[in-house]
Amino acid sequence: MQIDIFHRSTILVVDDTPHNARIVYKVLTGKNCEVLIAEDGRSALAVAQSEHPDLILLDIMMPELDGFETCELLKQNEETQDIPVIFMTALSDLESKVRGFEVGAVDYVTKPFQQKELLARIQTHLTIRNLQRELLIQKTSLEKANEELKRLAIIDDLTQVANRRRLEDYLQQEWKRGIRERISLGIILCDIDFFKQYNDTYGHVVGDQCLKQVAQAINQAVKRPADLVARYGGEEFMVILPNTPLEGALKVARDIQKTLHSFKIIHEASQINQHITLSIGIANTIPENFHQPITLIKAADTALYTAKQNGRNCIVTEYL
């Protein structure tokens, strides 16, 4: 089914001669267009900016601000620069036509105009305008979809913090930066105490809710945009702390425990506390070429193991 491109299109007619404007008005309203009239360049600029017409028919020979100057100003304004402009004028010399295209017009109709020719040219540029809009909408939609796919590729579906893939990429990135800039890199490895017993007591659905709450608590405690919170696996979470000394990492770990405590997640099966707690291992180093990021992870894991051996719900640090 062919779409009536004229229907509901808004066209601005700019002409300082009322008789000429009335003729064009009659032709366009006969095609169900909404027609706006401006008698000079200044008025045309104001109407174009406020109404955003789909197309402008612009006379050249006007006092004070002629059509060429008006078109130039339209194209300099971000709000009106994409509106197609068709010149309607008695000037038919090549120089005038060339100048019209140079200032940004898309077409040129000489007076006295033939109604069919005028409508054909308007139809062409309205069609192009609509296609451009549709392409822009599709492009925007595609960009949003791509951004969402990128986000989903690096986010843990359950906890909505970074996933293992994002964690490994970011750790590698910050390790290299630490080598270049000779700055500290810290990681915090957190494990939920007696989480198996929690699942056995409350079920896996409630267990999933617990994981979400723990992730939320860690996120709240970790303040800097450069610090990354990620789900390391199962009930373990890791925080990467670029440019952070051991003392700074220890403070963040304490903030995490304090924030989680404020959530007061009941854990009746815990052997050490009536609420959910974390065992935490911290590792810190200034990265070197002869080491790899896995070395730092192993150090944090060793510290975490020691925290568990020390009775859980505590923090142990390790410095390479």
Residues 313 and 244 grouped into a single domain: yes
In this structure, what token pair is assigned to residue 22? 């009335």
Cβ distance 56 to 109 under 8 Å?
A: no
| Domain identity same for 175 and 303 | yes
**How big is the chain, counted in residues?**
320
Q: Please give the Cα distance from 55 to 36 (Å, whole number).
A: 10
Helical H segments across the chain, by residue range: 18-29, 41-51, 67-76, 94-102, 115-154, 164-181, 195-202, 204-221, 246-263, 293-309
Q: Are strands 107-110 and 85-89 parallel, antiparallel or unpaired?
A: parallel
Backbone angles phi, psi at 162, to 5 degrees: -60, 150
Q: What confidence score (pLDDT) does residue 3 get?
A: 58
Task: Report the DSSP pairing between strands 107-110 and 185-192.
Answer: unpaired
244 and 287 inside one domain:
yes
Say if residues 62 and 91 touch (Cβ distance below 8 Å). Answer: no
CA–CA dist 48, 192 (Å, integer): 62
User: What is the identity of the amino acid at 289?
Assistant: N
182 and 277 assigned to the same domain: yes
Tell me the residue range of the domain where 249 lies: 164-319
192's CB contacts (< 8 A; 6+ apart) are 198, 210, 211, 214, 235, 236, 276, 277, 278
Judgement on whether residues 168 and 315 belong to the same structural domain of the protein = yes
**Could you confirm whether 235 is annotated as catalytic?**
yes
Per-residue pLDDT of the chain (320 residues; tens, 9 = 90+): 445 788 789 999 999 989 989 999 999 999 889 999 999 999 999 999 999 999 999 999 998 899 999 999 999 999 999 999 999 888 878 888 899 899 999 999 988 888 999 999 999 999 999 899 899 999 999 999 998 888 889 999 999 999 999 999 999 999 999 999 999 999 999 999 999 999 999 999 999 999 999 999 999 999 999 999 999 999 999 999 999 999 999 999 999 999 999 999 999 999 999 999 999 999 999 999 988 999 999 999 999 999 999 999 999 999 88
Q: Does some domain include residue 294?
A: yes
Pair 122, 179 in one domain:
no
Based on the structure, what is the number of domains in the chain? 2
Catalytic one of 181, 235, 268, 318:
235
Same domain as 235, residue 124? no
Same domain, 168 and 89: no
| pLDDT score for 32 | 87
Q: For residue 315, what pLDDT is reported?
A: 97
Residue 313's domain is classified under what CATH number? Answer: 3.30.70.270
Q: Is 37 left (phi over 0), alpha (psi -120 to 50) or beta?
A: beta
Q: Could you tell me if 120 and 249 lie in one domain?
A: no
Residue 109 covered by a domain: yes
pTM, rounded to two decimals: 0.64
The predicted pLDDT at position 6 comes to 85
Quote the pLDDT of residue 1. 40
- Residue 151 forms part of a structural domain: no
Residues 191 and 279 in one domain: yes
Question: CATH number of the domain that 48 lies in?
Answer: 3.40.50.2300
Q: Are 124 and 169 found together in one domain?
A: no
Cβ density class 179-199: b for 16+ within 10 Å, e for less: eeeeebbbbbbbbbbbbeebb
Same-domain pairing of 168 and 93: no
